[in-house]
Amino acid sequence: MLEWDTAVDLAVRAGLRADDFYRPEHRPLFQTIVELRATGHPHGPVDVRVEIEALPDRKAALDHIGGASYLVRLVQQQGMLEWAGADAAKILELGRRRRLMDATLQAHLAAADPAVSLEQVLAKLVTAGHAEAGVGTHDRAVDGATFALDAPAIPPALWGAEYDIVWAEGEALMIVGPQGVGKTTVAGRLILHRIGLAEGELLGMPVAVGGGRVLYLACDRPSQVRRSLRRMVTEADREVLAERLTVWQGPPPADFAREPGLLTELCRRYGADTVVIDSLKDVVAELSKDESGSGYNRARQLALAQGIQVVELHHQRKPADGNKRPRSINEVYGSIWLTAGAGSVILLWGDPGDPIVDLHHLKQPVDEVGPLKILHDADTGQVSVSRGVDLLGLVRTLADQAAAAGLDAGQPAATVARHLYSLDHAPEPKEIERARRALDRLEAKWLLVRKDGIPGGHRKRPALYYPAAAPGGEPPP
């Protein structure tokens, strides 16, 4: 009550909740403080007393222990601010131990009753374990109006901005690619931005700094992950790395598909609001089976429901006809539920050790980002855009070529798509549609002029796009 926002934030960040307190009267006090903090109101002793007195159940609990005078005694027994985080973690642990003890006692009594099936006994234990992993559903229900009408039209971006979003808040990002193309490097740079150690943009897009720790599950070759990260940091970064990043080395204690609550449990244990899984094959066995894919997706969604942001490293299916780049989400390895539950999937493509690799956006939260050419600096671990596709420049170039040949300078979306995606065949409808949307965004900014086509019949003609006479100038009449 005296250390204001800092102490409350430390407690909430640790995952502390009201029923973690042993003394029942402390539970409504803590809940009241958290609620006042969440609504931006002060929460000193007087504020807490006034709020509690307006709630009959909480007022009765406070009156039972002495009312306002008890709040005065609590204030007189205040601890040091630097203890708040450690105290919250200890109270959290003790509260969870008590609840597990209660659950095991109930399971013990049920196991001794022949009328209770063994499956029911096991279900009690599993339910208790999941509840302590933070996967309960009691606090995730909202009314329909809030759910449907209060959501933003464009999701908040963790990596990206406006319509160009690689990683959206509350949606998992999957980074796919063969070995040696820099998946771990990109994940490492993303982590450093997330904990506030890297400045500027990552691949031309901003990254939101997180409020908690990042948990990196270095399940696959942790020594290689260590070397990769070591290139990117210096001794001056030691304090921030110690405070904001936790690295788990080796496989997790159990398969995430079989124990869906374990992912959230690990994040809560280390106070993480972001988790990077390197890689999926090391946390889930038999990825190709839908049962495993569905089980892992449940683990992922439970973590997201608890406000934990998720990044996953994965690989593509082996191509049947040589080194062929995947062009669709269906070519990501494993059960369909792995990609179905992800909000965004990007593909890094190249040969092992290539200094320049391709980035393709296979699944998008909003609009497609790229394609991009990514330049890796092997000495520093820096990644940058070597060459992106300048869509406006592409249209101008194609228009100039057409005009020089005596043809109409207008370009249909299909022609732009073929050059945009470096295709050696006719573009698919989905590729044409993505190109059309990108062209329409430039037309909305008056950088291109669109001339609608003729639909249907033998005279059918697609819409054509022309470079504006002056970028950003007046729209055509």
Tell me the pLDDT tens digit for each residue of 218-264. 998 999 999 999 999 999 999 999 999 999 999 998 899 988 888 98
Whether 477 maps to a domain, the answer reads: no
Instruction: Note whether 19 and 113 are same-domain residues.
Output: yes
Instruction: Note whether 87 and 177 are same-domain residues.
Output: no
Whether 77 maps to a domain, the answer reads: yes
pLDDT per residue as tens digits for the range 10-29: 776 667 777 788 777 788 88
Top pLDDT among 64 and 306 is at 306
Whether 233 maps to a domain, the answer reads: yes
Whether 145 maps to a domain, the answer reads: no
Top pLDDT among 1 and 345 is at 345
pLDDT per residue as tens digits for the range 141-184: 778 888 888 878 888 999 998 889 999 999 999 999 999 999 99
Domain boundary among 366, 388, 410: 388
Whether 146 maps to a domain, the answer reads: no
Instruction: Note whether 319 and 445 are same-domain residues.
Output: no
What CA–CA distances, in Å, run from 260 to 281, 284, 294?
15, 10, 10
Q: What are phi and psi of 386, to 5 degrees?
A: -75, -45
pLDDT reading at 4 higher than 90? no
Top pLDDT among 201 and 42 is at 201
Range of the domain at 302: 158-388
Instruction: Note whether 249 and 364 are same-domain residues.
Output: yes
Instruction: Note whether 82 and 175 are same-domain residues.
Output: no
Task: Please give the tally of structural domains in the chain.
Answer: 3
pLDDT per residue as tens digits for the range 370-411: 888 898 888 888 988 875 567 888 888 888 888 888 888 889
CATH value at residue 306: 3.40.50.300
Domain boundary among 334, 359, 388: 388
Instruction: Note whether 206 and 97 are same-domain residues.
Output: no
Whole-number mean pLDDT of the chain? 83
CATH value at residue 121: 1.10.860.10
Instruction: Note whether 338 and 442 are same-domain residues.
Output: no
Instruction: Note whether 77 and 16 are same-domain residues.
Output: yes
Whether 250 maps to a domain, the answer reads: yes
pLDDT band at 104 (very low <50, low <70, confident <90, very high): confident
pLDDT per residue as tens digits for the range 64-76: 777 777 777 777 6
pLDDT per residue as tens digits for the range 326-378: 778 999 999 999 999 999 999 999 988 888 899 999 999 998 888 888 988 88
The pLDDT value given to residue 230 = 95
Instruction: Note whether 340 and 447 are same-domain residues.
Output: no
Tokens 């609504």 label which residue? 39
Instruction: Note whether 258 and 403 are same-domain residues.
Output: no
Instruction: Note whether 124 and 196 are same-domain residues.
Output: no
The pLDDT value given to residue 476 = 47
Whether 152 maps to a domain, the answer reads: no
Instruction: Note whether 427 and 284 are same-domain residues.
Output: no
Query: Are residues 185 and 355 in contact, defined by beta-carbon separation less than 8 angstroms?
Result: no
The pLDDT value given to residue 288 = 93
- Cα angle 466, 469, 471; round to 5: 95
Domain boundary among 370, 388, 406: 388
